[in-house]
Amino acid sequence: MGFKMGIVGLPNVGKSTLFNALTRTAAAQAANFPFCTIEPNVGEVAVPDPRLEVLAKIAGSKQIIPTRMTFVDIAGLVRGASKGEGLGNQFLANIRECDAIAHVLRCFEDGDITHVEGRIDPIADAETIETELMLADLDSIQRRRANLARKLKGGDKESLDQDRLLAVAEAALNQGQPARTIKVSDDDARAWRLLQLLTAKPVLYVCNVEEASAASGNSQSARVAEMAARQGAASVVISARIEEELAQLPPEEAAIFLEEMGLHEAGLDRLIRAGHELLGLQTYFTVGPKEARAWTIAKGTLAPQAAGVIHGDFEKGFIRSETVAYEDYVAGNGEAGAKEAGKFRVEGKTYEVQDGDVLHFLFSG
């Protein structure tokens, strides 16, 4: 499915440091985890999920295959980007293709690293970027509405819907509200997504703090967390510097280093998982002697469509799925035990797959 997260932020906030740490870690894990760097600024990373190892151990799976997510290091956003300053236009096109935004905010003090605005203020920085994105949205909305005008006279249903949604977004933006604050009906969800408004994309604020604050954050990241909560956005605290160092260590040393820093897991793992969560994604598993594998689906996906993620034929010829919840699989020490405990279910076409389901699909064809 290729879920894509765009890393944005002002210059010198740590975007590339973070991106490089993400992809280097992925590269280091390549022996176990298939991965690839698609372009210099595009990288695919494994979504860490400790449940996979547990399942693989129980089933004696030879290989573990995690599900993956794409990160894009999007450079070039400065004040005025919506008017084409810097790499403005190219940058905006890159964001448009992403499913969500990881907005890196500089929360660290360092006199040696220039801040483009000359002061450390992550809230103001977030507003600077958000303003550019809102201006770019307004600009594209006005252009699109002008183009639609002629079709509207003809009463074209699709155009009417589009224009109606664009008008709602325009009104919100004119009041200084990003498009993601608008709740659309289920009927409009698809048309809304197709508008690809920049400020409609979910946002994860990434607070880049100094090393000493990696475990608990600092006063700046606390302000960001408050802002995120107000906006219904998510936030994580990370030290890009630490992640950079971690990415260069062999796994055993990385674990010791993490502990010394008072951290339970690498910030990158938290970042990747938060991105997964933000995108409304969940995971199901297929488990066998050959491999234990994780698959990504949107929350609310029904069994046939979930099967379709593996192969189109699975969806077309879907008959039923054999289902064991993760906890039941572990409690029963495998499928047979779960079956004895009465936890093995046969589910049909209308079954809504749950996070952690261990599935086996039966299909014809």
Ligand X SMILES: Nc1nc2c(ncn2[C@@H]2O[C@H](COP(=O)(O)OP(=O)(O)O)[C@@H](O)[C@H]2O)c(=O)[nH]1
Shortest separation between residue 289's beta carbon and ligand X, angstroms: 43
Q: With binding defined as CB under 6 A, does residue 110 bind ligand X? A: yes
Q: What string marks each residue from 16 to 35 as x (binds Mg ion by CB under 5 A) or -?
A: x-------------------
If the CB atoms of residues 9 and 66 are measured against ligand X, the closer one turns out to be 9
Q: Determine if 239 is a binding residue for ligand X (CB under 6 A).
A: yes
The packing angle between helices 157-174 and 122-153, to 10°, is 150
Judged by CB under 5 A, does residue 41 bind Mg ion? no
Q: DSSP per residue over 243-287, as a string?
A: HHHHTTS-HHHHHHHHHHTT-SS-HHHHHHHHHHHHTTEEEEEEE
**What angle separates helix 219-231 from helix 122-153, to the nearest 10 degrees?**
20
Contacts to ligand X from residues 203-232, by CB under 6 A: 208, 210
Six-digit token pair at 270?
Answer: 């938290």
- Contact status: 11 vs ligand X (CB under 6 A): yes
Of 4, 5, 14, 166, the one binding ligand X (CB under 6 A) is 14
What is the chain's Cα-based Rg? 23
Stretch binding ligand X (CB under 6 A), from 64-72, 191-199, 237-245, 309-317: 237-245
Tokens of 252: 């055993």
Binds ligand X (CB under 6 A): choice among 13, 69, 172, 358: 13
- Among 82-90, 91-99, 163-171, 239-247, the segment contacting ligand X (CB under 6 A): 239-247
Geometric angle at alpha carbon 46, from 43 and 51, rounded to 5°: 170
Helix (H, G, I), strand (E, B) or coil at 165: helix
Round to whole Å and give the CA distance between 233 and 226.
Answer: 10
Mark residues 240-259: x for contact with ligand X by CB under 6 A, - for none: xx------------------
CA distances in angstroms from 6 to 41, 75, 202, 284, listed in the order given: 10, 10, 11, 25
Give which of ligand X, Mg ion, none residue 14 binds (C-beta under 5 to 8 Å, depending on kind): ligand X
- Under the rule (CB under 5 A), what is the footprint of Mg ion? 15-16, 75
What is the contact surface with ligand X in residues (CB under 6 A)?
A: 9, 11-17, 108, 110, 113, 208, 210, 239-241
